[in-house]
Amino acid sequence: MSTMRHEQGPESLVFVLSTLNVGGSETKTVRLANTLADMGIRVTIAYLNGPESLLSRIDPRVRSVHLERKGKFSLPALLRLAATLRDCRAETVVAVNLYCMLYAVLARLLLVRRGLRVLATVNTTEFATRKEERQLLLYRHLLKLVDGIVFGARCQAKLWSDRYGIGRKPGTVFVLHNGVDTNHFQPGHQEQGGFPIPAVKHLIGTVGQLRIEKAHVHLLQAVAALRSEGMDVGALLIGDGSQRHVIEGEIERLGIGRYVYLIGEISDVRPYLASMEVFVLCSTAVETFSNAVLEAMSMGCPIVSSRIGGMEEMLEFGGGAVFAPGDVKALTQLLHELLNEPKRRKQLGDDARNAVVEHFSWERMVEKFLRLSAKQA
């Protein structure tokens, strides 16, 4: 691995994050930083503000810098970032969202240093709010100043080019699919035994922060509809967030409290994934290339997902089925069919595992990241 680093990767790299809170992009960035440090690359994670729940997961070889942002835009935070880039002699800066890109671009301008490569990763496919779309009026100009724009899916890159005119300059657009550790997430993991799960014949579920765009209520409505049809179905919702009270209210309204468990945030989702017959993603916005779905696929769990972001791209090699976002009737029908066809579920689960191993492994993602971070993509 060290040979690959010297031939392909930078000597020193800085990731810029908004927070170190538990989330798909943040968790992936911390793990990627740890992997790169293990390969001998000098890695720094600079984060604008708290919370810092992922701080304990950062390898001691990875330097972490709290930029202490105050207000909507923080000049002191910008100066701290510029000082960090100078002190660690960074060759590449990776801004993990568009707001972080603002700081990365301005910090490079302050340093007036040639050879410092700035990459901007785009995590959003469809904006959840009009405010976010308006902010793009600023970001689209800054995106012209970066050395590379990293999208999480081909469909995302095309949408941003067609709709916003972003990424049309040749040689500046890269697609980096998320990757999953196929050794850590693999079929046959022992099912959850220490925590009660619904005593039902068919158990489905999902993993993700309880945010409005994740549309957990659609999953709850599908469970209620299936039960009204006589199917003994229950669900696990793993994660926490601002919509928890809304979800709890919907569970009570639908009268399915005995069949749906809110697990909260946990460090190891594998036992719960092993308990699920089908993994469901109901997102209606923001989603690009779900890490949670990749983990479920790697465990050999069939997928039912909304047709959002790069989900069709993820499932193009098999492993699941999609429905139109917000179409609870179509979601219910797909689940009804799958839960009644164990052989089809088994085949989809096998296809899901094979797709991840062949196309979306962690090793494949790291190799491609090294190439693009050193202008060899």
Do 312 and 258 share a structural domain? yes
Are 309 and 288 in the same domain?
A: yes
**Is there a domain that residue 120 lies in?**
yes
Q: What is the pTM of this model?
A: 0.84
Asked if 206 and 164 sit in the same domain, the reply is no
Q: Is there a single domain that holds both residue 259 and residue 110?
A: no
**39 belongs to a structural domain:** yes
Question: Consecutive 10-residue runs of the chain (377 residues): their mean pLDDT?
Answer: 52 95 85 95 96 93 96 95 95 94 95 86 73 76 90 90 80 91 87 76 96 96 98 96 96 97 92 96 90 96 95 96 97 98 97 97 94 70
Between CA 169 and CA 162 the distance in angstroms is 13
- Specify whether 330 is located in the same domain as 365: no
Residue 103 lies in a domain: yes
Residues in the chain: 377
Any domain includes 191 = no
Domain contains 165: yes
Residue 3 pLDDT: 41
CATH of the domain at 225: 3.40.50.2000
Residues 6+ apart with CB under 8 A from 130: none
CA dist 94 to 146, 220, 285, Å? 10, 38, 24
Q: Are strands 278-281 and 303-306 parallel, antiparallel or unpaired?
A: parallel
- Shared domain check, 233 and 150: no
Q: What is the pLDDT of residue 377?
A: 43
16 inside domain: yes
Q: Do both 23 and 131 map to the same domain?
A: yes
Closest by CA to 119, choosing from 373, 343, 376, is 373
Domain membership flag for residue 111: yes
3-class secondary-structure state, position 233: strand
- Same domain assignment for residues 172 and 239: no
Whether residue 226 sits in one domain with residue 116: no
Q: What is the total count of domains within the chain?
A: 2
For residue 186, is it within any domain? no
Say yes or no: 90 and 154 in one domain.
yes
Instruction: Return phi, psi of residue 120, to 5°.
Output: -115, 120
Same-domain status, 82 and 229: no
Residue ranges making up the domain that contains 269: 202-359
Considering the domain architecture, whether residues 39 and 167 belong to the same structural domain is answered as yes
